[in-house]
Every structure is written in C-alpha cells, then in structure tokens.
C-alpha cells in the first residue's frame, strides 16, 4: 500500500500579539506542510536516518525504539515517484530473535533496483558487543533477503562499530554489483579498521582485510569513511591514535579491494599525534583524468580548531595539509567540514564562530586544490546572530546544494528550536542563490529539526531528517528544486 504525500492541514497553538496574545488564550494558527512524514513508529523515537536515491525511488533507513524504549531496531521505507508516494508500512530489516537485541546506526547504498543496508547489532553477544549485519533487496525494497552476519564473530566476542557501505555498478560493463563494507572492531585489542566485499549481496571475500597497517590492536583506528570511484577504486580514511593524539590516516585499493598498500597519515604540517583531528569528510573526483580523493577534517594544531584538507594527485599526497578556513590560524573554532569534488573543482563547507555565533562558510578551488578562492557565507541572516551548524554538501556536476541546521529566531518573543536551511548553486559552487530557504515546513523555530541527510539527483534536492514537531522524534522528507 502507498501513501500519497499530500499537504497536511495542521492546527498549531502559538503565542501571538493582540487578541489571544500574551496573557490571553493561545491563538490557533492553521498551516499546511509540503514535507512528508516517513516513519510509522507510533510515538517511538527515530534516530540516525540515512538516504539513498536511485531513479524514481527514494530509500530511507533508520533505527527507532517502537519495540521497546531500550531496543532500537532498523527500519526501512521507500518513496516512489521521487518521494511522492511512501509505503504505508515500514519494513523492519533487523531480526530480533530473542526479543531484547539492539540494532542501530544503519548505512545504505543503492544502484538501480538494488538496495543494501548494514548496521550494528548485538544479538550474538551476552555482553552487548555489536556485530555488523547486512540485508539487501533487488526489487526496490519490496522484498528483502534474510539479514546475515558480515563480521566473522558468531558469538559476539568482540565489538564492531561504524559500518559503512558503497556499491559499484556499471551496467554497460557487467550486470554484477560490487558491494563494499568497512567498519572498525576490537578483535585484536584496540580498534582496527576492516574491509570486505560482496558480489550481488553474496560471494563475500574469503577473509576480512585490515586496512590500518600498524601492528594489529596496537592503537585506536576508528570512524572510517568509505568512497569509491566506479572503476575498481576503493578509498578509506579514518581516525588513528598511533602517534598519541588523533591523526587522519588513509588507505586505498585500485582492484576492488583485492590488494591494499601501506596506509598514509594525511594531517601533515605538524608532528604525528601532536594535535587531535576529527570530523573526517571525503569526496572522490571521478571526473578527473585519474580519480582524485580529497579528505578534509578539523584539527587543533593552532589552538582553536581549523579546517584542513589533503588530496592525492599523480599518486602522491601533499606533504603538508592545506588550511581552508580564512582569518588567523586558530582565530576561531571551525568544525565539521563537508567536501564535494567534480572535474577538478573542489568545495569545502564548515561552520565557524568568528562572528560569535556559528555561521556556514564555503570555499572552493577550480584547479584541483592548487589554489583557493575567497570564502562565502551561506546562511543569509545577520552574521553570527544565530548558530548555523553541520553543513552537508551534495551535488551532480555543476548543481550543488548545501543543507544545515539553523537556530535563527523568527521573532524576539521566541527561543528558537533548530530548523533546516538550503542554499544552491548551478555553477559548481562559485555563485549561490540569493537567499537561503527553509526546508522543514512547520512554523519557524517551533520544533526541533536536526540530523539532515541530503542527496542530489538530477535537478532535485532530497532531504531526510529527524523532526520533533509532534513531541517525539519522527522522520520527515522533502524534495526541492536545485534552482532556488
């Protein structure tokens, strides 16, 4: 059964001036919404949404606690017609054989009618250790294979976290789909980063591959980020403490994960482990003559956190990372970059408190990171007047979108809850639409909207997020034009 995404008529109680204003009865304000409620969790709380778009289908996965307040399970829904029609019933992907397991923090990838989902699941452990589980559908989410264990740990003896998944498919070359998995686990002591591959959802590698190349379990390696180039290249960046502090390390394979080199530290320019680097983002420029990985993060080498980036060209990484945020070194706190790259053009967005409140800034390069233009502020309220946080970039060619969480107040009478904002570019991120646009469609500042996921496909921007307008955490979706 399908549910049509119609405008929803809602009655909202709000404080307003004049009759029914302060000291009087609340005024009843009618409004319509253009966003869509996705989940059917009936008062449960959702979390960790993820989004994938393939053709006319929009795929959403998340966890929620509808089975019990301390028992998250993984759920799925699909929106047909670009998200206009969503199924009336969510599909639970995680089996719960004992009725008391926890499954959460899913990741999703899709190609054509195939959808692949991985997640953390503690069903096998007596001690709450997580394993990595996986399920897939080859009919756009109508039916699903029984979930299966990815990690070679049937008894839950060690803890596996942060699974990521990507799919490589070129129907002009082969009908096969290569599915890549990465996670980190503590089988050897401290956490290491592991990789495996599947063809079409089965035929896994005979053994998992450890991609951090210091001695097993010698130091923490975690929070991997996965990228592919659709030509057999697999790229993994992660946090690594072998030097003492937290550094950024990287490894890659050019043969679908069959062979790997020695990992590289990317945050050059200070000594290994001398500062802490977090918030890794990676983009692969697949349109370059040779695919180029770009990796960005924030680190504290200058005191306050700055945004740094490194990239690999002609087979070698830059010896020193490039500082992206402007102003003096360590002059403001700059956090959580997001990277987009295509055809030699590179964009990095982040949030920055140089004007007291955090704003969203972006900077670009037209020549593969060799030279950088000036910064642009993307949030169009008064600089520093409200926190704007967690920018995420998505794009297709010259069409680029930036989405973020924003605490601007609609009136002086309200302490604002966060909303989501969008700004777009149609020339590769160098000129941006005149004003930012609010995505969530309840009255401004009245309910928490957070954790946005954004995908661009064709001329449309697809956003999925967690929304508290009804009191509990629900999942909402909106499709918007990139021509804002």
* pLDDT, mean of residues 382-389: 96
d(CA 193, CA 183): 6
Confidence of residue 32 (pLDDT cuts 50, 70, 90): low
Which range is least confidently modeled, 54-63, 141-150, 312-321? 312-321
- The string of pLDDT tens digits covering residues 128-172 is 999 999 999 999 999 999 999 999 999 999 999 999 999 999 999
To the nearest whole percent, how much of the chain has pLDDT over 70? Answer: 93
- The string of pLDDT tens digits covering residues 102-135 is 999 999 999 999 999 999 999 999 999 999 999 9
pLDDT at 25: 42
pLDDT at 329: 94
Across the chain, mean pLDDT equals 92
* pLDDT, mean of residues 379-403: 97
pLDDT at 178: 98
Confidence of residue 415 (pLDDT cuts 50, 70, 90): confident
- The string of pLDDT tens digits covering residues 287-306 is 999 999 999 999 999 999 99
Name beta bridge partners: 335: 351
Cα separation values, 267 from 237, 238, 270, 278, 394, Å: 11, 11, 7, 11, 24
Nearest to 463 by CA among 442, 480, 448: 480
Instruction: For each of the domains in the chain, give its residue range(s) and CATH number, in order of start.
Output: 97-102+122-132+147-473 (2.120.10)
Positive or negative, the CA dihedral 35, 479, 81, 73 is negative
Identify whether the C-beta of residue 455 lies closer than 8 Å to the C-beta of residue 28. no
* pLDDT, mean of residues 245-272: 97
Could you give phi then psi for residue 392, rounded to 5 degrees?
A: -130, 130
pLDDT at 230 over 90: no
More confident call, 242 vs 14 = 242
């Amino acid at each position: 059964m399908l549910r049509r995404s119609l405008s929803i008529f809602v009655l909202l109680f709000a404080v307003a001036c004049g009759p029914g204003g302060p000291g009087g009865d609340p005024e009843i304000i009618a409004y319509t919404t253009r966003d869509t409620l996705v989940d059917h969790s009936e008062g449960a709380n959702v979390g960790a949404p993820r989004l994938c778009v393939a053709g006319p289908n929009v795929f959403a996965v998340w966890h929620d606690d509808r089975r019990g307040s301390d028992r998250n399970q993984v759920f799925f829904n699909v929106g047909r017609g670009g998200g206009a029609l969503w199924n009336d019933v969510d599909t639970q992907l995680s089996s719960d054989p004992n009725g008391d397991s926890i499954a959460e923090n899913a990741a999703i990838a899709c190609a054509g009618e195939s959808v692949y989902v991985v997640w953390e699941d503690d069903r096998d452990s007596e001690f709450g250790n997580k394993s990595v589980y996986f399920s897939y559908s080859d009919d756009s989410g109508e039916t699903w294979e029984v979930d299966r264990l990815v990690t070679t740990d049937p008894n839950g003896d060690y803890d596996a976290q942060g699974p990521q998944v990507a799919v490589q498919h070129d129907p002009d070359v082969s009908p096969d789909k290569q599915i890549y998995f990465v996670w980190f686990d503590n089988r050897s002591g401290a956490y290491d980063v592991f990789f495996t591959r599947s063809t079409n959802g089965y035929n896994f590698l005979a053994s998992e591959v450890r991609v951090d190349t210091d001695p097993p379990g010698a130091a923490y390696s975690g929070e991997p980020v996965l990228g592919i180039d659709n030509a057999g290249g697999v790229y993994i960046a992660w946090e690594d403490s072998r030097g003492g502090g937290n550094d950024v390390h990287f490894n890659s394979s050019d043969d679908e994960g069959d062979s790997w080199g020695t990992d590289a530290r990317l945050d050059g320019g200070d000594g290994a482990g001398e500062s802490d680097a977090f918030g890794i983002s990676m983009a692969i420029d697949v349109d370059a003559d040779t695919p180029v990985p770009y990796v960005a993060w924030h680190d504290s080498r200058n005191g306050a956190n700055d945004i740094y980036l490194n990239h690999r060209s002609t087979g070698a990484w830059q010896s020193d990372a490039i500082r992206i945020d402007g102003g003096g070194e360590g002059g403001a706190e700059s956090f959580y970059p997001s990277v987009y790259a295509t055809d030699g053009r590179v964009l990095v967005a982040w949030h920055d408190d140089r004007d007291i409140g955090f704003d969203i800034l972006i900077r670009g390069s037209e020549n593969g990171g060799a030279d950088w233009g000036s910064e642009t502020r993307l949030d169009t309220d008064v600089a520093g007047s409200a926190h704007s946080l967690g920018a995420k970039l998505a794009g297709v060619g010259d069409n680029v979108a930036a989405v973020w969480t924003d605490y601007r107040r609609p009136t002086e009478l309200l302490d604002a809850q966060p909303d989501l904002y969008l700004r777009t570019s149609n020339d590769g991120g160098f000129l941006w639409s005149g004003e930012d646009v609010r995505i969530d469609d309840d009255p401004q500042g009245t309910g928490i909207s957070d954790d946005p996921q954004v995908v661009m496909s064709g001329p449309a921007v697809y956003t999925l997020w967690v929304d508290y307008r009804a009191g509990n955490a629900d999942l909402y979706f909106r499709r918007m034009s990139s021509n804002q």
